Structure 1
Amino acid sequence: MTASREPQTFSRKEFEKINQQVKDGDKDAKKYIVIDNKLYDVTDFVEDHPGGQDVLLTHVGKDASDVFHAMHPDSAYEILGNYYAGDLEPLPASVDKQVENSAQFAAEIRELRDNLRKQGYFHSSKLFYAYKVLSTLGLCAAGLSLLYAYGRTSTLAVVASAFIIGIFWQQCGWLAHDFGHHQCFQDRKYNDILVVFLGNFCQGFSLSWWKNKHNTHHASTNVHGQDPDIDTAPVLLWDEYASAAFYGALDEEPTMMSRFIAENVLPYQTRYYFFVLAFARFSWAAQSFVYSFNTGAINKSAALNLYERTSLVLHWVIFSYATIAWNSSIYNMILFFLISQATTGYTLALVFALNHNGMPVISAEKAETMEFYEIQVVTGRDVSLSPLGDWFMGGLNYQIEHHVFPNMPRHNLPKVKPMVKALCQKYDIYYHDTGFIKGTLEVLKTLDVASNMSLQLSKKAF
């Protein structure tokens, strides 16, 4: 009888040496992640990661325990076991009070999560989601019916229809977000079916494009160089890291276009911010269309790939048909297109900006020293609103709670907000809660600070 082999224990120095090889670009270096003080070799798994390889790469060499538990189903634990490489030497006890506070805060959040799961807070109300889907589809029916009945005779009807369709797309976005986080059904395939229907077909946004981008955002929220949601250069710069990186790159043979943007565009971004938002929806739709046909399904499934691409094509065919066939003039066609796109652009982007823009941006080095849950709280902004405001923002005004518990159904986030807020106060973790207008002014102030920095950097660069 063969004795069972003891698992290998890696020292912190061994682990750091391997990680340094990865940072140095050594192609043969092993890629490890840490979950619950155990090492997992994900070198051969990166490309097959169902949530996208970008999100996994942001946590190579790091403790991914909290992000793993927050964003994965129970079935993922079985897959994880296939990549177990050994145990990691425990960290020595910290004597830094702030670090200790953060660690205790994370421990209590984990305990709260487990208790909330037992109490059913992660179970969705199917009636709530049925109402949300049907009422949202009702907006589409109302908008298209108005256009069909009066689009050839009334410009006012064209404008009203375009606005309703724009709001319909926005609300589809919030629902696709909920189903994309698997908040409704325990069986994830039903969530994905609805994401493709509401996201790809109804809204024109690819499920795979969104998941690849959004999962990375959740894993490395407001971390410079890792969070794609704050990587909006050269259109907008949100922080000193992005400004320094953009203008620093100009030292290496700047083109006429990059120089023009650096000198005459970015220093004035606060002035054109609201103009840019009008094109946000069309830009995201174009990006997701290209992603779907160039990269394909995030889980490499041929069936999902076909479902996504067919839905995207049908979205644009039906929208184009309604725009052309139910309007009497080129003028009204253009009007319908621009107003519907701009309505969605504004109503999505204004909400997205409130979520994290203007909140602290963290360097990759600093993020490695912080607990995952602390990062989620200090980089998020909650917005206190009326029930109508909750509807408009799709529950994303509970941004901190959503980032702490991303799989929790939207309708339960208001219930857990006081619990999360109380733990933040207990451990002196900054929790930002404000109003819609004040939050928007904070976003504009952040843009203005970055604008002034851009102006100074452009003078030095040229």
Structure 2
Amino acid sequence: MFEEKSEGNGSLVDENQLYLGAKHQANGKPGASGKARLSARQEANDKCDLLRKSLNRYTWQEIQRHNQETDQWLVINRKVYDVTGWADRHPGGRKVLNHYAGEDATDVFRAMHSDPDIVRLYLKPLLIGELAPEEPNQERNKNSQLVEDFQELRRTLETMNLFNANLGFFFLHFSQILILEALAWVIVWHFGSGWLVTMFISLLLTVAQAQGAFLQHDMGHLSMFKKAKWNCLMQKFVTGHLKGLAAKWWNIQHFQHHVKTNIYSKDPDIDLGPFLVIGDLQPVKYGKNKIKYINYEKQHLYFCMVGVPLLMPVYFNLKSILTMYHGRDWKDFAWVSSFYIRYFITFGPFYGIFGTMALIYLVKFLESPWIACVTQMSHIPMKVSKEENQDWFSTQVLATCNVKQSFFNDWFTGHLNFQIEHHLFPTMPRHNYHKVAPLVKSLCAKHELPYVNKPMLKAFGDVARALKKSRALWKEAYCMHPEI
């Protein structure tokens, strides 16, 4: 758990720091009597009680008023924090905090932070009060029993050590990528750079890049090493050197997607206007307002023929470059540059400068449909809505779906076929998702929530079917509301 508590009294004050004086008496000599230690402990408890009494008490109505970008409060474990000044320094980006301003963030806080001990150091100075005793743990519109059941499930999984990563699994995954890239070089070195050879090594490199994308995804969520700087270095290596993307851009984009999945204006993965209209609400809004940037009646074709192949080589790369440029992030720029330098050193002697660039973007072009299908099939067909301030469990279950398990499906999706479990527990290593799935399914059944688990081909097809449904809603609204 991520609760912040001291020894025995539950306050934010570290008792050890308060009674260090027990080790020495006033005359400077070591104190050995139990009476002195008892007195110091009592003094520490009195100070903790004083701190608790001095904390302001707030109602949910008061907290919910602080939900603006310039005034952000949130609640974690009944403690109230003012994160306004911290937002610009938040590693996950300021928008993540703003999305939960004025709300209970206990479950999302636990879900997104893999190392609570580090986060506690940053939280303490931000503490401004706590919920009034008569206030419930969550906002009154939330299902308190479901929240309690989910928190109990998380405690059970922590007891089972399912948040501990198996380094051997990730080493084998990393080895797979290195072997594929080395094999591609050996083949072109031995057989030359003809068209058939080029296409074959492009496929090998595409597989390596796709599997690298899944490893990049892991590095963004997991703490693989005890020291945070090594985790940060590993993420930059995988994201920058292996994938050629900016780690900071990836974090900001992806964390927003996780904390407010499929929520209009908060999840960048579904904020596709004006290119596509998604869900049930956005198409109607565009239709009523006579918005027609493209012919939305054919948006499913645009998605398949334009959006899918250009996702990686154009959209992701452009967003990554713009983030580095505007943020003047030279470290990310160096890591991304090392990706291209590695390709030029490896394949430049066979293809030259322009040929190597063509190879890089051919691989990205081939990788793009793979990654687009894996990521979008679990979200676009599911519930897309405005902010409803639901509990964490309901939000993630309704906005995501799974793809049936098999050896191929696990490998092809990087275990992201267990999308529900991944969204509920982002910091859980993916090799444990299948162990958690039955428990999550059981909790869904208890609270009458759908647990959607599809065959892969149906999941692919549902993306186009969802886009067709949205286009029909747009057309109906567009035709029924004449221009004013």
Instruction: Please report the TM-score for the alignment, with normalisation by the length of structure 2.
Output: 0.82
- Give the corresponding residue for 2:368: 345
Contact persistence 1:221–1:379 (CA under 8 A): yes
- Give the corresponding residue for 2:440: 420
Contact persistence 2:309–2:366 (CA under 8 A): yes
- Give the corresponding residue for 1:107: 148
| AA matched with 2:146 | F
Matched, 1:286 2:318: yes
- Give the corresponding residue for 1:213: 253
| AA matched with 1:132 | H
- Give the corresponding residue for 1:429: 449
Q: Distance in 1 between matches of 2:162 and 2:264?
A: 33
- Give the corresponding residue for 2:23: none
Note the C-alpha offset of 1:289: 2.1
Q: Distance in 2 between matches of 1:224 and 1:67?
A: 18
Note the C-alpha offset of 1:461: 6.8
- Give the corresponding residue for 1:308: 332
Judge which range, 117-126 or 102-111, deviates more: 102-111
Matched, 1:269 2:299: yes
| AA matched with 2:103 | K
Q: 1:86 aligns with which of 110, 129, 140?
A: 129
Matched, 1:10 2:74: no
- Percent sequence identity over matched residues? 25
Q: 2:381 aligns with which of 345, 358, 366?
A: 358
Q: 1:223-259 CA distances to partner (integer Å, 9 max, x unpaired)?
A: 11101111112222221333345556667xxxxxxx5
- Give the corresponding residue for 2:343: 319
Contact persistence 1:51–1:211 (CA under 8 A): yes
Contact persistence 2:290–2:478 (CA under 8 A): no
- Give the corresponding residue for 2:207: 167
Task: Check 1:92–1:81 CA distance in 2 against 1; reply closer, same or farther (3 A cut).
Answer: closer
Q: How does 1:3-402 map to 2 (within 5 A)?
A: 4=51, 5-19=53-67, 22=68, 27=70, 30-72=71-113, 73-74=115-116, 75-89=118-132, 90-91=134-135, 102-152=143-193, 154-246=194-286, 259=292, 261-262=293-294, 264=295, 266-276=296-306, 277-282=308-313, 283-296=315-328, 305-319=329-343, 325-327=349-351, 336-337=359-360, 339-364=362-387, 366=388, 368=389, 370-402=390-422
Residue 355 of structure 1 aligns to a residue whose secondary structure is coil
Note the C-alpha offset of 1:71: 1.2
The structure having more radius of gyration, on CA atoms, is 2
Where does the alignment leave 5 or more consecutive residues of structure 2 unmatched?
Answer: 1-45
| AA matched with 2:298 | Y
Q: Distance in 2 between matches of 1:48 and 1:249?
A: 38
Note the C-alpha offset of 1:336: 3.5
Q: 1:46-104 CA distances to partner (integer Å, 9 max, x unpaired)?
A: 1111221111111111111100011122221232121111112354699x9xx67x432
Q: Distance in 1 between matches of 2:433 and 2:202?
A: 32
Task: Check 1:31–1:337 CA distance in 2 against 1; reply closer, same or farther (3 A cut).
Answer: closer
CA RMSD of superposed structures (Å): 2.7
Instruction: Please report the TM-score for the alignment, with normalisation by the length of structure 1.
Output: 0.85
Contact persistence 2:83–2:126 (CA under 8 A): yes
The count of aligned residue pairs is 428
| AA matched with 1:408 | M
Residue 86 of structure 1 aligns to a residue whose secondary structure is strand
Q: Distance in 1 between matches of 2:161 and 2:65?
A: 43
Q: Distance in 2 between matches of 1:47 and 1:328?
A: 43
Q: 1:387-421 CA distances to partner (integer Å, 9 max, x unpaired)?
A: 12101101111111111111111111111111111
Residue 176 of structure 2 aligns to a residue whose secondary structure is helix
Contact persistence 2:66–2:101 (CA under 8 A): no
Contact persistence 2:79–2:129 (CA under 8 A): yes
Task: Check 1:184–1:359 CA distance in 2 against 1; reply closer, same or farther (3 A cut).
Answer: same
